[in-house]
Structure 1
């Protein structure tokens, strides 16, 4: 996989919690009031709740003052002295990289590649244990690379690709792959985050997920779908003024919240936007 400026991962980082019927208490405003719940894998370091965060998957730059946690593409170096989350595109191929995946690209009954048209990315075929294993092996090399560079965590993007698969993939397929990725990450001492896909948050412990990354939950007003299972270790990424305003009003005192431009451009680019609560 190559770093792709303009690539937006689809989630907000959410901190680790055990699944439970009452994972965290919510205040009247919808904010999480509980402390972080335990991770399924207690030996890995987790991002601190409500820490200053920057989302740099479009290209690395010097983190602003106050940032404690940063997410970067796996091709980039880790930021010295910070908690680093490593971005990998795990469920879809980067644009133009279909040939790198061979028979692991998802095809419909007519033999056509199934695409995420919004990002011009081919979906990967998660339907068999053999293919999931081979996908996990390939993505696993990037996870190993992240560990070698000094990252503390990994965020596998497009967990929700099954929702764009024309019915060919299932939520179970996605969870079976993410379990393999969780095992690989934990084996390297890395935490692993759930990227978006709030409908699967209740299974985060079974799937070995330590925290979550949720994009635009302020815009969509569904951050509570993550905090119900991940508590206040949630990193929220917004791309609009309204989304940031809502996230800050409801979650700004308990969650990590940042607004970035949709192309997540590095600092110095005229399109660069970064705001916090």
Structure 2
């Protein structure tokens, strides 16, 4: 893979010459997905698999007792009890929606709940089981599937997932955690948000050198993922 683009909010800019777009499952139109695919671009569709977002139309299908604490920066978003059948049923429906919209793959987010303060009792084994469930259900539908951020689980899940989407592995000095994916020839798509790498071209160049050595494909993006700016380490 040469390069990629990640935009989850704002009017979608479909003009980048990249191999893959990562877009919001709910907010991206079929027309935009079709237009990208007509150019040979792979489209993966983002949704949260580990939280319930109150504004989503299917949020009413999640029982109150299957919901944990709110996320620190998102009061209308709460962690999910990923062991519950009702939660898994909603995610199966979201995967069906991804197929219906024409997505080539999916990026299920918030799949590291066992490491977070969720107000729920979730174990590493619960998380592995749930993540494998998501991957299996996606692949059964002909969708590729990305492991999102859960790099401590990467060695155990590399065979279940087709690629990885990472946030700030360079800032957190954790890109080596993705070595199992890199060694398997599976793309690791990384986004960085540090302001220095926006403002300082020489610092950004040094960061991009690190990215290349780690074997990951890094973009410097706004945290809102709204395409207000974009710097790609993959460009000459």
Q: TM-score range by the shorter chain?
A: 0.7 to 0.9
- Within the candidate set 57, 63, 70, 1:102 is matched to 63
Identify the residue that residue 225 of structure 2 maps to in structure 1.
264
SS of structure 2 residue aligned to 1:164 = coil
Is 1:87 matched with 2:38? no
- What is the Cα-based RMSD across aligned positions, in Å? 2.3
Identify the residue that residue 173 of structure 1 maps to in structure 2.
126
Identify the residue that residue 251 of structure 1 maps to in structure 2.
211
Greater RCO, CA 8 A, separation 6+: 1
Is 1:202 matched with 2:155? yes
TM-score (normalised: structure 1): 0.69
- Within the candidate set 133, 145, 154, 2:97 is matched to 145
Identify the residue that residue 159 of structure 1 maps to in structure 2.
111
Gaps of 5+ in 2: 199-203
Distance 1:242 1:252 in 2: 19
Question: Is the 1:60–1:72 Cα contact (8 Å) retained in structure 2?
Answer: no
- Within the candidate set 99, 109, 118, 2:73 is matched to 118
Aligned residues between the structures: 212
Change (3 A) 1:104 1:66: farther
Q: CA offset at residue 159 of structure 1?
A: 0.6
Change (3 A) 1:60 1:180: farther
SS of structure 1 residue aligned to 2:177 = helix
Structure with the higher fraction of residues in strand conformation:
2
Gaps of 5+ in 1: 1-47, 107-112, 267-271
Distance 2:95 2:65 in 1: 19
Identify the residue that residue 229 of structure 2 maps to in structure 1.
273
- Within the candidate set 161, 173, 180, 1:221 is matched to 173
Structure with the higher fraction of residues in helix conformation:
2
Q: CA offset at residue 243 of structure 1?
A: 5.7
